[in-house]
């Protein structure tokens, strides 16, 4: 029996209670969690923006220690530190074959599996494959990657989503070049990672945009050279901070139609907007044909930062060890499992950066 955060149904309150985990079968790994980050994607599962089978154990950004491995698992052993990979690539589908592993067609096939049972014997699913909101979890072997050396496991949890996504959005999707101006919309966990990534890329100026004035200190610590409080004049203000042209790159980490539109308008002619935030189907963004032609801007989606975790974790880890990327500064609240509902409320209210469940 281990404690876990369970979503009993879409729209229902999260429940913290005991579950019964099986021993790892062939090709599986049992992990004791050190920490798990509370991500907006978890919130999107609770309200139905993203749909997975329920009831489910939520949590997808985590790291911990291997307790046991099933038959056929050889890349990790009991006692090893690991980072959970919620979107493992199959290596066989069309996207994997052409190198777009972040779009793997089979990445989320595991969400329909039976992950565990509650105390009454009811089946539970793993929300996004790895069920990290629990003291322990059992996952497929391709859902664990060796934790980078020299990084505390609790902070390594952030590598599993926020950092891969924010870093990848800047370096892989937007491909920010030294000297380019960047505007990051939304100073949450992913936005803070994107700001640090922009600084690492040599961007400047780096403009952070958020609805909360309390986020300015966090944004500047992460690398923002300017801070803009979101309003009807945001795009105009960003043009004023970038020589009247607009930013070369905008990274949208909110997932709202109005924010996406503003991010696009904030870029120069020929500028690039990367949308990281996950919005609902009701968030409709409109453009007219003439402005698309005239401004020649590009607007693109971004899944998991267009990252290949096996390739990118060692690169990001080196930035961490060298002091160029500060994982601890992304975390504004360290909580227990019981604190997750309040962390969701804070997220909705636009407060803080990343909340980290520490076991």
**Over the stretch 2-27, which tens digit does the pLDDT of each residue have?**
999 999 999 899 999 999 999 999 99
Pairing of β 56-57 and β 123-126:
parallel
Above 90 in pLDDT, residue 69? yes
* 206-213 mean pLDDT: 97
CA distances 156 to 34, 62, 146, Å, are: 9, 8, 11
* 110-122 mean pLDDT: 93
pLDDT at position 356 is 97
Above 90 in pLDDT, residue 280? no
Sign of CA dihedral 270, 275, 281, 284: negative
Q: What are phi and psi of 215, to 5 degrees?
A: -80, -10
* 279-301 mean pLDDT: 94
Given pLDDT bands bounded at 50, 70 and 90, which one contains residue 350? confident
């Amino acid at each position: 029996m281990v404690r876990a955060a369970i979503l009993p149904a879409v729209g229902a309150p999260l429940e913290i209670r005991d579950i019964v985990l099986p021993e790892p079968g062939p090709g599986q790994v049992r992990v004791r969690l050190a920490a798990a980050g509370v991500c907006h994607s978890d919130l999107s599962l609770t309200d139905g923006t993203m749909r997975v089978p329920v009831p489910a154990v939520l949590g997808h950004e985590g790291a911990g220690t291997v307790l046991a491995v099933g038959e056929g698992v050889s890349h990790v052993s009991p006692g090893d530190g690991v980072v959970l990979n919620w979107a493992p690539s199959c290596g066989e589908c069309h996207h994997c074959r052409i190198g777009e592993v972040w779009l793997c067609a089979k990445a989320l096939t595991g969400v329909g599996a039976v992950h565990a049972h509650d105390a009454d014997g009811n089946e539970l699913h793993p929300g996004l494959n790895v069920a990290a909101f629990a003291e322990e979890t059992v996952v497929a072997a391709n859902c664990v990657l060796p934790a980078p050396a020299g990084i505390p496991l609790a902070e390594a949890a952030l590598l599993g989503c926020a950092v891969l996504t924010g870093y990848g959005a800047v370096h892989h999707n937007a491909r920010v070049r030294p000297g380019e101006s960047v505007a990051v919309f939304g100073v949450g966990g992913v936005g803070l990672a994107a700001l640090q990534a922009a600084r690492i890329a040599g961007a400047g100026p780096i403009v952070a945009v958020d609805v909360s004035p309390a986020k300015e200190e966090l944004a500047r610590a992460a690398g923002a050279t300017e801070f803009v409080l979101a309003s009807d004049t945001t795009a105009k203000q960003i043009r004023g901070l970038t020589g009247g042209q607009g930013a070369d790159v905008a990274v949208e980490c909110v997932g709202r139609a109005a924010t996406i539109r503003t991010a696009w308008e904030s870029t120069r002619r020929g500028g690039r907007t990367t949308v990281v935030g996950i919005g609902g189907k009701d968030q409709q963004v409109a453009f007219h044909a003439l402005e698309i032609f005239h401004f020649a801007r590009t607007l693109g989606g971004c899944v998991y930062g267009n990252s290949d975790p096996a390739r990118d974790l060692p690169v990001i880890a080196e930035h961490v060890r060298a002091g160029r990327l500060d994982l601890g500064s992304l975390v504004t609240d360290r909580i227990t499992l019981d604190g997750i509902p309040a962390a969701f409320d804070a997220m909705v209210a636009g407060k803080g950066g990343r909340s980290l469940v520490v076991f």
